[in-house]
Chain A
């Protein structure tokens, strides 16, 4: 069983839709990151969370440490949001463990 799981694996949405990507993990962590990987390959760190909720523009990330679960929400999705979204956890005393990614396509 992978330490970090994401759902869905692939997601196609229409422009304007509200999108949710989920991440579940099985180990105790000190923090969790959401990363965005563009079609060209570049990776951008979107959020780092250790508790609660963070918002940046149309992106919202939440984490429930007790339930070992995090969600990334995109409001009013746009074709430029099309990318792979990767959940990465930091187990205590360790480095990143990455989820498999969720491939999002937003159609105009």
Chain B
């Protein structure tokens, strides 16, 4: 157990639907990062939060949004889902804004049918 908890582990949903993925960072970590891993694109950075504030954005679609709450857990919201959104979504956390002491969660596998 890495200390970073992601729920759910698996999610199957239909096109057009909306889902929320949840991430609880390791205790003491203030930064949360979201990544998408699809078969054709590999791992891609989506978005980073630090202590509740958005810090960096990567290749995140407008249909996707995220937030980090006062208790430091984060949620990634994916809406108007398309087949191509099927992927593994990873959350990672680190104690600071920089990429030190970096720990990944086990991921949420999203399947859009």
Contacts and interface: CB of A to CB of B under 8 A. Distances in A.
B56 A98 contact: no
Interface residues of A, number: 21
B74 interface: no
B86 interface: no
A43 B99 contact: no
A48 interface: yes
Contacts of A45: 102-104
Given A41-B109, A43-B107, A95-B33, A31 B42 contact: no
B61 to A, nearest CB: 16
A103 B90 CA distance: 19
Contacts, number: 48
A42 B21 CA distance: 16
Contacts of A88: 43
B43 A98 contact: yes
Interface in A89-104: 90, 94-101
B109 A96 contact: no
Interface string A32-46: 010100001111110
A33 to B, nearest CB: 7
Interface in B68-113: 88, 90, 92, 99-100, 102-104, 106-107, 109
Contacts of B42: 98-101
A96 B106 contact: no
A44 B104 contact: yes
A31 B100 CA distance: 10
B91 to A, nearest CB: 10
A95 B107 contact: no
Interface of A: 31, 33, 35, 40-45, 48, 86, 88, 90, 94-101
Given A41-B88, A43-B107, A96-B35, 6 more contacts: A35-B104, A40-B106, A41-B106, A42-B106, A43-B90, A95-B48
